Structure formats: structure tokens, C-alpha cells
Amino acid sequence: MSTIDPKQTTYTSPELFNVSDGPVGRPPGSERRIEAQSMVAGHSVESLVEKFGSPLYVMDETRLRASYRRLSEAFKAGWTHTVIGCSVKTNYLSSVVAVMRDEGAWGEVVSGFEYRLCRDLGIPGDQIIFNGPWKTDDDLRLAFSEGAVLNLDGDDELERVEALAAGLGQKVKVGLRINMQLNYPPWDKFGFKLETGHAMEAARLVDKSEHLELNGLHMHVGTYIPDPGLYGRGIEALIALALRIERETDATISSLDIGGGYATRNTLHDTMLPGEAITATAEEYAEAITAPLRRASAQFKEAPRLCIEPGRILVDEAASMITTVRAVKRISGQQKAVLIDAGVHIMPTAWWYDHEIRPEFDHGHDIEDYRIVGPLCMQIDVVRKQVNLPALSTGDRLVIQDVGAYNFSQSMQFIYMRPNYVMAHAKGVDIIRAREEDSYVRQLENLPDHLIGPETQGSILCKDKPNG
């Protein structure tokens, strides 16, 4: 309640001043002149484009390792027995996963493809965390035989895994994925619900099974969660469930997995503050998650291993996209469109982030209000809806920052081929995925015999045909 007595206070209307150099006197957006960036990962943008072309995706190995080390040190300082299972789907370029493996990461996978990729890179099966809402029977058998950490997603999978284990005459260790109401919208597509008792019921079922042994609980709060408090509440609920399971069944919960979702400095569309201002640090996430574990540790049958499954926080800020302006044109209102050669097919995260975009050089030109659009023949190929940059011309280059997460794994071949993906490291720069050629897209096609005409005899689609 206000302590001001309205009868005692005389109201005076506010006066407005025009502050020179203040926001009123400046063109919109000029309060922050975006810095130019002519170097990426220690190499000039110019030399990179000359050698590898444009657009170009550049992964910086040094930054990748630095993000891993910072996160690992932060969590291990709070809970020594922490395992980092790097989320493979976030970026399944082999070189990225290999760097993570070198740093000591396990693999967190959600498909047979990702599982085999990890194995191929030398990550042992018992250092693979196998999650996801659907795993094929073949993939499950492989995971059993190699002792992978298997997290069950629902009743159907529980029954199927039990039947497969029984068929093989094996006893298989499993974890349960738990979902709970922590954020909105809830991530309720996955796992067993805590609040309805479904999770406890599943734990009892596994406990009674001759072919399954419950040894872990898993959850993944959601994706891009800037608030460490959510993780704190999540781990507390997981601990309470684990202790209850240990009291009421024969299970020993030797692993608690809190998943991924740690945000980066990227800014989501339509948020008031930049990502940098709202995102927690690695140390803050670590403290929110490990402090409840330290408090509860004595109550467990044995101190559990903590697993985390970071994706974007490891890779996002380590990669940049170099792109070239191919056209500038006026669109609605005062805005101009800058057409670049990197569209949403290779940068799908532009659909939810306002990526930071920097010009290679700042020649001191006036600031312009731009929409940055890609080369695809679709109106929705918009990379930034609105950004203020020093006036740009055809041929200028731009650097789009923090594109390491999900942009390769969710990219699509549409209209244009994917470009070169390179990694900058201590000894230079290597291509880690070569630019696609036409034959890459067409190689799996088959032209039925009756469609092969005299004109198509030399086509790549005819090369294995008797008459080709």
C-alpha cells in the first residue's frame, strides 16, 4: 500500500526535454554501431572465402575445446562424478564429435545413426547415453550388447525392451526418462510423468521384471533454458523420486541425468533483452544442479553419477557463417533487403534467433535499416527481420555469429547445395565437410527404363543401366 496521502500531494505534469545526442536526436538503431569483424578463428575473412568460397561455415576448434573445459570444470567442482554426454544431434559433424571425445565427453544419442557415428569415432558403447522416443529393435539389441546407458521413454518401449531382453536371455540395465511440470509449454511428449504417479509405477514395474534392472533416472527440461533455477527445481524433484524408489524397491539409482538445454548468448526472436543479458553462466548452471546433490548425497544407497547432456552451450558460439551480399533492394516502407548467399536451408536457427550479424569492414557509411534475406525462392527465407548496419553493397561480406548448434544437423538441401564446412585449428584450416555437388543430390535416384530416352543416355542416372 502506498504511504502517500493524495490530498497532501500537489501534482505537477512532467516536462519533456530534448536531450542533445540522446535517443530523441538519433536515427533509430544508431545507439549501437555493430562492430566490424574481418577475422574469424584467427584467419581473415578474405583469405577464408578465397580458399573455400562463400557461404562458408567455420568451426573454431580452440573455442569448442574452451567451452567444453569451462563446463566440465564448473560441474566437476560441484560434483566430482559428473559425466558430460555431448548431445550428438546438436552438431553431428564427425570432427566436432571427435573433439568432444578427445576432451573426454561421452555421446548422447537419439538414433541408431548417431549411435553408430559415436562408435565409428571410437566412443565405446558403455559411454553412450541412448535417449529418444523411438529406438528400433536392432538399435536396442546393439545397445544391450555394448552396455550402453539406455533411457526408456514410455510404457510401450518398456514392454518392448523387456521382451527383447527376455528373448536374448539377458538382464538389461535401464533408466527412466521422467517428465514434470517445470516450464511452459511442458515437454510432455517424452518420458513418464512424475505428478500422476506414472514414473513411480514404471519404477515398480522395472523392479519386478526378471529381465530389467533400474539404475538411473533421466530428464531434459527443455531447450534454451536461460534460468538455472529451473534446473535446480528439476534436480530436486529427480532426487526426491530417486530416494523414494530406493526406499520402496530394490533398485539402486546410480545415475541421475539432468539433460541439456543450457542457453547461449544468442537472442530469441521477440525477447526484450539480448540473450547475453539473460543467460546464466556455466558456473551458475553447475551450482544450481550440484548443490541439491551435495545436500542429498548421504541419503543415497551409493553416491550417484551426475550426467549432463549439453548441446548448444558447447558448440553454438564456436561457429560462424561467412556470407556475401549478392543484391540490395528496397522493400516495403523504408526498409531495404540485403540478399545474401546463406539462407535458412543452411541456417535454420534464423527461424528462432536474431543472430548477431557483423560487416567484414566498417567504412563509416550511414546506418541503414535492413532485412537480411537468403537466396531461396521463398518469402520466408529471412535471416534477420530487421537489423541496422552501415550501408552495404553487392560483394560486401558479413559474419553471422554463433551458428554452431543445430544448423548443420537440421540443414536441408533445397535449391542450393550445402557449402564447405571448415574447422580452424592450431595448424591451419581443414575442410570437415566438402561442398555438395549436383551428383550428391541425385546419386540415389533411379530413372525407370521407360523414361530413359536418347537424350538421357549420358545422364548420371543411366550410368549403371545396361543401356546407359
Ligand X SMILES: Cc1ncc(COP(=O)(O)O)c(C=O)c1O
User: Residues interacting with ligand X, by CB under 6 A?
Assistant: 87, 90, 108, 131, 220, 223-224, 259-262, 309-313, 405
Strand partners, 422: 58, 431
The least CB distance from residue 78 to ligand X, in Å, is 18
Name the residue nearer to ligand X (CB basis): 309 or 396.
Answer: 309
Cell of residue 436, nine digits: 555438395
Which residue of the chain is nearest ligand X when measured via CB? 311
The least CB distance from residue 223 to ligand X, in Å, is 4
Name the residue nearer to ligand X (CB basis): 31 or 73.
Answer: 73
Name the residue nearer to ligand X (CB basis): 54 or 266.
Answer: 266
The least CB distance from residue 272 to ligand X, in Å, is 21
Q: What sign for the dihedral angle of Cα 15, 20, 21, 24?
A: positive
The least CB distance from residue 354 to ligand X, in Å, is 18
The least CB distance from residue 263 to ligand X, in Å, is 8
Return d(Cα 372, Cα 398) in angstroms, integer.
Answer: 11
- Cα angle value 151/81/232 (rounded, 5°): 70
Name the residue nearer to ligand X (CB basis): 283 or 369.
Answer: 283
Return d(Cα 376, Cα 342) in angstroms, integer.
Answer: 9
The least CB distance from residue 260 to ligand X, in Å, is 3
Name the residue nearer to ligand X (CB basis): 253 or 313.
Answer: 313
Give the residue carrying C-alpha cell 573455442. Answer: 63
Name the residue nearer to ligand X (CB basis): 290 or 323.
Answer: 290
Name the residue nearer to ligand X (CB basis): 313 or 403.
Answer: 313
Cell of residue 101, nine digits: 571425445
The least CB distance from residue 196 to ligand X, in Å, is 21
Return d(Cα 130, Cα 150) in angstroms, integer.
Answer: 5
The least CB distance from residue 134 to ligand X, in Å, is 13
Name the residue nearer to ligand X (CB basis): 232 or 374.
Answer: 232
Return d(Cα 153, Cα 216) in angstroms, integer.
Answer: 13
